[in-house]
Structure 1
């Protein structure tokens, strides 16, 4: 088994003191210092949201005001942050919507855990 000896070049004084890297970092800092700010002072300044913004997930309702959810629990299983909890419930046989198998007894979205993924 042979030993490989690597010859490294000697660093100059400028390279040993990291002065070019420090100047480069300061240059980036100064460039960003004079750019316009992108942060908003939230309660006073509201962000402009697009018309089709899909931020907060909600339970969709039909024109009659009834939830369109059939408690399949797919949203609960696909949610990456596990923020949605669906408890299925039955629909009474006397209801005009009795042909639907299930309706949510409880539908909870934990907005503290939600990552606004769009599912």
Structure 2
């Protein structure tokens, strides 16, 4: 088999380079104009709240058990009537995610029984200090909206923890779903 001259191989390589010279460059202006993320992108975690401001995290530690990278640390504590941070018996007193270890798999999200933990599209988490990449509860909690009350505070009057879990709580108190009898109308029927 005859060998091709080196000149032909070089010209073929130059032809590829020459054709790409006239294509429009694909340049992202990242720091100035960050691009959109995919809808299901797994970014920074967020601890969610109920509509009245109570935290959804019940301190069960299932997210920490599900994490394959051992990046989550949760320490639960008991709610009291004087200091209630979430409906029910417990809340997450200490909540930390170590983003130096997190692999963004989302198994913690699937393990959460109250949908307290979700992932946002925020991806800018770089820092020059390793200690700042361990996010505590203050950085992870969803911000309070104007109609929310900062915990600790009592649950909505007349509500149970099940009302919170079923989504029957609004920012102004207990709301009954459409078609469900209220407590007073049920008592009148009985």
TM-score, normalisation: structure 1? 0.58
CA shift digits 1:1-53 (9 cap, x unpaired): xxxxxxxxxx9767xxxxx7xx78x959x86xx574365533x1211135665
Q: Kindly tell me: are residues 13 and 62 of structure 1, through their superposed partners in 2, closer, same or farther at Cα, counting changes over 3 Å?
A: same
Write the distance in 2 (CA, Å) between the matches of 1:101 and 1:77: 20
Write the distance in 2 (CA, Å) between the matches of 1:62 and 1:99: 9
- Shift of residue 67, structure 1, vs aligned partner: 0.9
Structure 1: segments with no counterpart, 5+ residues: 1-10, 15-19
Aligned to 2:157: none
| 1:57/1:116 contact within 8 Å kept | no
Aligned to 2:79: 91
The one of 30, 41, 45 equivalent to 1:57 is: 45
The yes-or-no answer on 1:48 pairing with 2:36 is: yes
- Shift of residue 102, structure 1, vs aligned partner: 1.3
The structure that has the greater radius of gyration is 1
TM-score, normalisation: structure 2? 0.40
SS across alignment from 2:46: coil
Structure 2: segments with no counterpart, 5+ residues: 110-190
- Shift of residue 114, structure 1, vs aligned partner: 2.4
Q: Kindly tell me: are residues 37 and 113 of structure 1, through their superposed partners in 2, closer, same or farther at Cα, counting changes over 3 Å?
A: farther
Q: Which has the higher contact order (CA 8 A, sep 6+)?
A: 2
SS across alignment from 1:86: strand
Aligned residues: 106
The yes-or-no answer on 1:68 pairing with 2:56 is: yes
- Shift of residue 86, structure 1, vs aligned partner: 0.5
Aligned to 2:184: none
